[in-house]
Structure 1
């Protein structure tokens, strides 16, 4: 278990009490954002219709306390919740078993804020590979309801020490508005791996690792394609800077020679500039 401290600056001078509505709004963002950050790392998408996997629910089973303007959240590590997934079988190499869902939540939150030109803070180079999608940004926008309850700022004292203010809401709103619409693509790359657990696969395209999701369970024929060049036809989803975040498909096949030449380049959509 790890304990996190979140300092909540409010207009209320009573440091030992907190509004139930405020707490509900804040915990919703933290809980749903933590679920989304985990799924984004493993599936390439933060939300999907239906209930999340059980291990994601267990990873966001938090305990809380409040004292002196600080919210204390106790969170289990990934290894503690399901050791069979993270220790024995290593089902999710994208995740570190020693970290918690809150760690990944803070990572995604920080990169969304610090990478924006609207921010006066700087993002560390080591965080430059972290991503967020439109659905996760919409969860972050839920901080707006927290600030409507008389909150001035929210400061995560552990980890990267990110601070959320009312100005952060403008960043989330702008990032949401510039994410390109999904579009159909064809792409050729090396099928690095597949995972039947959540129907995800990794595709290497010109040294770029692309996360994919199959609409159907993988066939035995797909198993034989691992390590080979494949053609994937599906819907591409993008980040706010126009890079492909994931591709959702029901067609993975061996390409013809002409298709290899045509579809080896990743599309890059031009997103609107943040001003």
Structure 2
């Protein structure tokens, strides 16, 4: 197990007490953000209607201790949480069984902050790209830190890892990052359907050109037909969701059909977000009950 130390600084230096509501708000961000970080890596989306899988619920059951202004959060690695899924199975190749859900939460939070820093550096001529490990709903979950600050906190400092510091100004930055995500768009991609998971309808596609991996989700009505095409060349058409740097995060597939040589040649390249793609409405906000 791992213990994560989070230091909370009050706005008022004279106030030595910590609001229970503040701790409740912080724990809510950690729990919902950790759930979202796991779902993003396994399904390509951090939130959706309905309850998350049971193993994700178990992975986000934390133990805590609080002393002075420091919160210690204990989290179990995925291998201990669900050994039946991670011990001898390649069901979730995207995940490291030795990591905890909080590791993935902090990785996504770090990714968002690095993207913001890159955006600032880019204005000064630095063009290095940053891989973004978040989507719109997860950025919205990060914005829930505002409830922590509304209860008197001035700074939330994650002492483990890269020592992330979240301030009230971070909320505005997360909003800006969410607003600047490319809108969803219609795409067609051809390649080999490497696998499709029955539990969450997630598929993995290897593009015909350059052998690049794309993750997606099939609709329930076409799941059975898509499973019959596993390990075959297919043409996937649907709505693509993009990262902040224009890479495909996932495709929500409307159709998965057998692909011929013409389709593999025409649609075998991994698409990114160009201006000529037809934009769709931005991803809706998750249905999360907001706490005061």
For residue 192 of structure 1, report the CA deviation from its aligned partner. 1.6
1:218 to 198, 203, 223: 223
Instruction: Give the distance between the partners of 2:43 and 2:246, measured in 1 at CA.
Output: 19
Does the C-alpha gap of structure 1 residues 270 and 28 become closer, same or farther in structure 2, counting only changes over 3 Å? farther
Unmatched tracts of structure 2, length 5 or more? 122-128, 276-292
Q: Which residue of 2 aligns with 1:98?
A: 98
Rounded Cα–Cα distance in structure 2 between residues aligned with 1:15 and 1:70: 14
Q: Pick from 113, 135, 138: which aligns with 1:136?
A: 138
Partner of 1:43: 43
Deviation at 1:174, TM superposition (A): 0.8
Cα 1:97–1:15 change in 2 (3 A) is farther
- Are 1:5 and 1:70, in contact at CA under 8 Å, matched by a contact in 2? yes
Kept after mapping to 1: 8 A contact 2:32/2:141: yes
Task: Confirm whether residue 52 of structure 1 aligns to residue 48 of structure 2.
Answer: no
Whether the 8 Å CA contact 1:134–1:239 is kept in 2: the answer is no
Shift of residue 165, structure 1, vs aligned partner: 1.6
Shift of 1:154: 0.9
Partner of 2:85: 85
Over the residues paired in the alignment, what is the CA RMSD in angstroms? 2.2
Equivalence for 1:157: 159
Classify the secondary structure of the residue corresponding to 2:174: helix
Aligned to 1:123: none
1:244 alignment partner, one of 244, 248, 270? 248
Deviation at 1:270, TM superposition (A): 5.1
CA contact (8 A) 1:113 1:119 kept: no
Q: 1:128 to 1:242 in 2, by over 3 A?
A: closer
For 1:266, the equivalent position in structure 2 comes to: 270
Task: Determine the structure 2 residue equivalent to 1:253.
Answer: 257
Count of paired positions: 264
1:198 to 193, 197, 200: 200
Q: How much does 1:181 deviate?
A: 1.9
On the 8 A contact 2:186/2:239 being kept in 1, the answer is: yes
Paired residue secondary structure (2:50)? coil
What displacement does 1:3 show? 1.1
* Structure 2 residue aligned with 1:235: 239
Displacement after TM superposition at 1:129 (Å) = 4.5
Instruction: Structure 1: state its 5+ residue gaps.
Output: 121-126
Cα deviation 1:125-183 (Å, max 9, x = unaligned): xx954511011000001112222222221111112221112222222011110112222
Closer, same or farther in 2 for the Cα pair 1:118/1:187, shift >3 Å? closer
In 1, the alpha carbon distance for the partners of 2:66 and 2:211 equals: 47
* Alpha-carbon distance, 1:188 to partner: 0.7
Q: Under a length normalisation based on structure 1, what TM-score does the superposition of the two structures give? A: 0.88
Shift of 1:244: 1.1
2:178 to 173, 176, 179: 176
